[in-house]
Chains A and B, each alone.
Chain A
Amino acid sequence: MPDKTLDIDLRVCRGGFCLTGLAIIPLSGITGVFGPSGAGKTTLIRVLAGLETGTLASIRFDTETWQNEHRQTPAHKRRIGVSFQDSRLFPHLSVAGNLDYAQRRAAAGIAGPPREVIIGLLELAPLLERDTRGLSGGERQRVALGRALLSNPRLLLLDEPLSAVDARRRAALLPALRALLASYAVPALHVSHSVDEIVCFADRVLGIDAGRIGSLQPVRDWVTTLSGTGVEPGAVLSGTIAARDDRLQLTRIALAGHTIALPGLDSAAIGTVIRLHVLARDVSLATDTTDGLSIRNRLPAMLVDIRDQSGTPYCDIALDIDGQRLVARITREAAEELALAPGQRVFALIKSASLDRDPE
């Protein structure tokens, strides 16, 4: 099957601010849209949703032209779902009424996620009879996301959809939402300024900065390029849950022929492939196997590159672990003393506390 894409070419100006650039976004999985505040992320979502008129844009959804210089498909005919940052629940309807509103207008014929599944996923059951005006910010966002899902969209546009949901619930929700979207083959664009959220949720990342649409990168490549952008550099590793140790309260993860241990008992089944987000500052280097260390997770690695962070005491070391990328941030002094050079065999020491996990 040839991959469907969303092709965009924009020059959108609004009150002195312009968003320009082009991108070809695969209509599968989740595309993170990342950039600082005011970069134009929300504008991109609005243009894609058809909520901006009189703009110069050409947008093609698979074989369907949504916008060119002659015409524009109105928002209600695009069959997209939008989860707005500010929820936008209808105040004259209850929570259930808001969900019904979307469900009644959903396109028939294509099986989207069923209502009970969405309600279960977002834990909306206790809220259904509530008046929307009494809800907290996080509750409102969950309802808005549920409403967007219930409209049976061909593309889901998520603009900071869970920013007001507490961190614990969000960490549980994102992977479950990912799985749901994957099983119903609903592609999504996910706007966020949180690196962690993008790493856990997205397959690829579209960068936007100061009104310029940047390049599209696989999430693994993207995380390693963050240094210098004011965002914490890091890397994403793939591993498999190998064992749970009840006595030591550890989950062991197989990774590149080695095993590392994470504190806590992961609820995912043995054999589940997971993603680990490892920040560069949580990775140290050793030139030999040092045994007298409290850092338990040691992975043999090949030093690929040393990137000097000028103006700081640090340098970022790019590492290769059996084809997977990892970045370590160490002081320049340490790099000089260890006489590090590209091609050298080293050991990456990962502080266990730094590992986030997410079923893939």
Chain B
Amino acid sequence: MTETLPAIGLTVRLAFVTTIMLFALGTPLAWWLATTRNRVKPFIEAVTALPLVLPPTVIGFYLLVLLNPQSPVGAFWVQITGDTLAFSFSGLVVASLIYSLPFMVQPLQTAFERVGRDHMEAAASLGAGRLDMFVSIVLPLSVRGFVTAGVLTFIHTVGEFGVVLMVGGNIPGRTRTLSIALFDHVETLHYDEAHVLAAGLVGVSFAVLAVVFLINRRYPVHAG
């Protein structure tokens, strides 16, 4: 059990940082996708959805190639931070941002599209500029989308295994997340500890999803 607690702490920290950063990155991207008439939109949508269909090992492999200290990105990171991206917490965050991106962008895009042009036009006719309109109309009408996107991103980051293993390895306290620890316990035939971790993940995931659906019931869709 002494190895479990740091793994939980690390996993929660990773999921938290990833979710916050994806809110900041995913919101403008989802807004652009929901409102643009640009011809490149389908291609950007496809790129955004790629992590859903690619095997995690593929993403992990490319990230490793990209982040290792010999690559330009990895070398630059070492230069400014003195630490490597591969096999580090920062590297895990970068990897999580990429593989959890669709879980943030897709619910947000759907929510933004559902707000519809009608209310935005009404707001514009009343003198609301673009940013004002986004804050005063789009955000409040997309509460459900934000809750769903945040929770899905968080849970998915908690549960990812393949990419984390490839990019982060298995360094206790540094890159060993819950799912890696669970894998370790099974490999070394420590089934009791594996049971605790597995059941814990199932329980927490269920509880979080139940809360989401309860919240969604309180914030009905505002379309129309």
Interface residues of A (CB under 8 A from B): 49-51, 74-76, 79-82, 84, 86, 88-92, 101-102, 105-107, 147-148, 151
Chain B residues positioned under 8 Å from A88 (CB to CB): 118-119, 121-122
B58 at interface, CB cutoff 8 A: no
The answer to whether A86 and B118 touch across the interface, beta carbons within 8 angstroms, is: yes
Q: Is B188 an interface residue (CB 8 A)?
A: no
Could you tell me the distance between the alpha carbons of A149 and B35 in the complex, rounded to whole angstroms?
29
| B127-A105 in contact (CB<8A) | yes
* Chain A nearest Cβ from B121, distance in angstroms: 5
Q: A82-B122, A91-B119, A102-B126 are in contact. List 8 more A-B contacts (CB 8 A).
A: A74-B124, A76-B123, A81-B125, A84-B118, A89-B122, A105-B127, A105-B132, A151-B127
A sample of 20 inter-chain contacts (CB < 8 A) reads A49-B121, A75-B125, A76-B125, A76-B128, A76-B133, A80-B125, A81-B125, A81-B126, A88-B118, A88-B119, A88-B122, A89-B122, A91-B119, A91-B222, A91-B224, A101-B123, A105-B126, A107-B127, A151-B125, A151-B126
Q: Which one, A82, A89, A91, A92, contacts B125 given CB within 8 A?
A: A82
Quick check: is B200 within 8 A (CB to CB) of the other chain?
no
Q: In the complex, which residues of chain B have a beta carbon less than 8 angstroms from the beta carbon of A92?
A: 140-141, 222
Complex interface bits, B119-162 against A, C-beta within 8 A gives 1, otherwise 0:
10111111111001100110011000000000000000000000
What is the bound-complex CA distance between A89 and B136, given in angstroms?
A: 13
Q: Closest 7 interchain pairs by CB?
A: A105-B127, A75-B124, A88-B122, A82-B125, A92-B140, A91-B222, A76-B124
Is the CB–CB distance between B124 and A51 below 8 Å?
A: yes
Q: Given the complex, which residues of A lie within 8 Å of B121, measured CB to CB?
A: 49, 51, 75, 82, 84, 88
- B140 / chain A contacts, CB cutoff of 8 Å: 92
Interfacial chain B residues near A74, Cβ < 8 Å: 124, 129
Which residues of chain A are near B127, meaning CB under 8 Å?
76, 79, 102, 105-107, 151
Determine if A90 and B125 form an interchain contact, defined as CB atoms under 8 angstroms apart.
no
- Cβ contact within 8 Å between B122 and A90: yes
Q: How far is the CA of A292 from the CA of B24 in the complex (A)?
A: 85
